[in-house]
Every structure is written in C-alpha cells, then in structure tokens.
A = this chain, B = another copy of it.
Amino acid sequence: MANIFPSRRIRRTPFSKGVEAAGVKGYTVYNHMLLATVFESLEYDCAHLKEHVQVWDVSCERQVSIKGPDALRLLKLISPRDMDRMADDQCYYVPTVDHNGGMLNDPVAVKLAADHYWLSLADGDLLQFALGIAIARGFDVEIVEPDVSPLAVQGPRADDLMARVFGDAVREIRFFRYKRLAFQGVELVVARSGWSKQGGFEIYVEGADLGMPLWDALFEAGEDMHVRAGCPNTIERIESGLLSYGNDMTRENTPYECGLGKFCNSPEDYIGKAALAEQAANGPARQIRPLVISGEIPPCLDAWPLFADGRQVGQVGSAIFSPEFGVNAAIGMVDQSHWAPGTVMEVDTGAGILPATVQDRFWR
C-alpha cells in the first residue's frame, strides 16, 4: 500500500509525537483521525502485548458528548440497552441501530452524570445521528465532540504500570467501571476497558496539554516492565472475537446477527425495537462465527464470500494468521444453514479459494 497523505482533515492526536518517536510503521484512519496499526510487526506487537504492557493512542475513539436535561431521554431512544440499570460509574457497550435494526455504531457509553454521557465511538459519525434525532425532536441537549482523547494501557502488567502513575486506586476499578483519578493535579476518567482481552485501562484525556506528559510518565514508570507503544492489534482482536464496525458488521447487520442480542434489553420504545423483536423471538438468520481458513491467505481488504455447493452462505470480514494458535483465524457472518461448528465451506479470498471451517468458539 502507498503512504498516507498528511492533511488537517486526517487529524493528529495529543500523543502523535510519542507515536512517531516510537517508530510507528502503519496507520489507519478512524473517525477522521490517525490510528497506529503496527510498530515492530503485527506478530511482535501481538506477542509483546500478551506478555508485557503497552500504551495505545486511541484518541480516534472520539466521544459524542450528550449533555442536558434530555440527555437520558435521547439515549433511551437510541440505545437498545436498558439505560436505567446503569450505575453512576459505569461504562456500557451499546450497539446502536436504525429503525430497521441495522447497526449504526457500537460505542461504549460512559455515564459522567445523570444528565451527561459520552459515547466512545467506533468508526463513524454517530454524532450526526444523535444530532438529527435531537434536533427533530426538539430535545434540550447539547451534542458535541469534546476535545477528549483516550489513551489505553493494555496487557498483563497494566494494573502494575497504572498503579505507579495513578496510585493503587486503579486496582479497585472493576471491569467497565471508572474512577476519576488525578494526573498532575487534573482529574481524568480512568476506566477498566480497552480493545483487547489482555486486560487494562482507558484514560480519557481532556485537552492536549496533558497528552505527552502522561505518555512520558507511563513510559518512564514502565521502563523495567518493557512497556512499549502499541495499538489495537489485528491478530489479538481476531483471536479474541472483538468485532470491528466496518469490518465484521455494517448497517446491513443487526445486533442479533453480531451476537450482541444480550445488549438489547431496554423496556423503552427505542428506535429499531419493533424491527429487532422478530429476531429477539426467533433468532437471526445469520450470525458471527469464528472460522479457520486453511492454506495461505492474503490481507483481507474486501469481504470474502463464503460458498457451499456453489451458493453464497456468508462472508468473511477479517482474517489473519495467528502465530500463537498456528491457524488463519477469521471472523465471518454465516447463514444458519452453515453456522454449526465443524461445517466446512469455501472462501474466495480473491487470491484463491480455500476451505473455511466453523469453530466452536473464538480463541479467548
């Protein structure tokens, strides 16, 4: 692939200088912002993440700030998830859908106050959907993208590293909960969350001034822990079955198809509820499945169609070789007729047709 071309529209982050100094080798663009994709190599980065601790610039997880008397009212309209159960210090994974139940995004909602929420986005301007609803309904809310840039600390040593910078209070943060902890006198939202299954935190850094000081403090504190700059790792996330909006699911898919039906439990009359009711009752006609593809696979640039008996029965949205498990791990959307574990299909990778076998479960 060619180089990425610089412009203001492809926004840099408060941590870009640190990412560049760490020798980033690849970028993607996510919410109109740079996101590193590889430092040493995908394989090295992955192995290191599983053993040590990494600091990730995930500023591109932009926030939609929804604030005002009607904030909860708006959220209840756009969230299939029961927002009344949300604790004051909780983060909620919220697949958000249109009137047909088609996925628009799958943000993490952070409850800052009874009348103030952040939606930490996957790739897509969900702000515009929330804004459209709010304007049309005349809701009393302010909807903006605040200057907030998450920095993730991920890996088995994440607790130890974070404790050195934020104190032992970080150890008491429960999964998908947050505390406000001080760095250089400024309180930051620190949540136990992140886009890996290696454990860790996301620090919601407000403004740009604290960016590099925090980055540097983490690297200084973690020197003896082999801390490295990292990023969401394609190998680890596919092994873990962490879905990527735009890769594994789009507006063509419902939360039930994505295995996210358990997050659709709102008693409110939310947008898409009627459309999801049928799938809630009968289950979806296709669903996300872990697959193993035999042979040698190219990079997965397009959806790869899955065939059986000459008929398309699904597609693959992400695939990569896993050194740890010694297989080509893939995430596919597979028709009910072929989604049983052990079912073998053919996948057209564009560079050849290869066997693809449904697995029992993701690798972790």
If the complex has contacts A124-B125, A125-B125, are A301 and B12 also in contact, measured as CB distance less than 8 A? Answer: yes
**Cβ–Cβ contact B28 & A2, under 8 A:** no
> A184–B7 Cα gap in the complex (Å)?
38
Partner of A98, one of B38, B131, B299: B131
Interchain CB contact under 8 A, B5 and A1: yes
Residues of B within 8 A of A129 (CB): 128-129, 131-132
How many of chain A's residues touch chain B, expressed as a range? 35 or more
Interface residues of A in 133-181 (CB under 8 A from B): 133-137, 145
Instruction: Name the CB-closest residue of B to A126.
Output: B128
Known contacts A136-B137, A137-B136; is-contact A27 B1 (Cβ 8 Å): yes
Q: Which residues 273-320 of A sit at the B interface, judged by CB distance below 8 A?
A: 299-303, 317-318
Contacts of A240 in B (CB 8 A): none
Closest to A104 in B: B128
- Closest B residue, CB atoms, query A127: B128
Closest B residue, CB atoms, query A316: B8
Q: Is A25 in contact with B3, judged by CB distance below 8 angstroms?
A: yes
Min C-beta distance of A132 to chain B, whole Å: 2
Give bound CA distance, A125 to B25, whole Å. 28
| Nearest CB of B to A121, in Å | 11
Q: Is A116 in contact with chain B by the CB < 8 A criterion?
A: no
Chain B residue with Cβ nearest A304: B8
Bound: A98/B144 CA distance, A: 11
Q: Which of B1, B145, B300 contacts A4 (CB 8 A)?
A: B1
Partner of A125, one of B11, B128, B137: B128
A361 near B: Cβ within 8 Å? no
The answer to the question of A24 belonging to the interface, with a C-beta cut-off of 8 Å to chain B, is: yes
Shortest Cβ distance from A317 into B: residue: B8
Contact of A9 among B1, B38, B104, B123 (CB under 8 A): B123
- Interface presence of A197 (CB below 8 A): no
Which residues on the B side are within 8 Å of A259 (C-beta)? none
> Complex: how many Å from CA A99 to CA B133?
12
Chain B residues with Cβ under 8 A from A131's Cβ? 98, 104, 129, 132
Q: Is A29 engaged at the interface, CB distance under 8 Å to the other chain? A: yes
A8 touches B303 (CB 8 A): yes
Query: Which of A2, A37, A124, A130 has the largest number of chain B CB atoms within 10 A?
Result: A2
A304 to chain B, nearest CB (A): 9
Known A98-B135, A132-B133, A133-B132; judge A2-B4 contact (CB<8 A).
Answer: yes
Since A1-B4, A2-B4, A135-B271 are in contact, a sample of 18 more A-B pairs with Cβ atoms closer than 8 Å, ordered by chain A residue number, is A2-B36, A6-B301, A7-B244, A8-B247, A8-B301, A8-B317, A9-B123, A9-B244, A9-B247, A10-B28, A28-B29, A124-B128, A125-B125, A128-B128, A128-B129, A129-B129, A131-B132, A136-B137
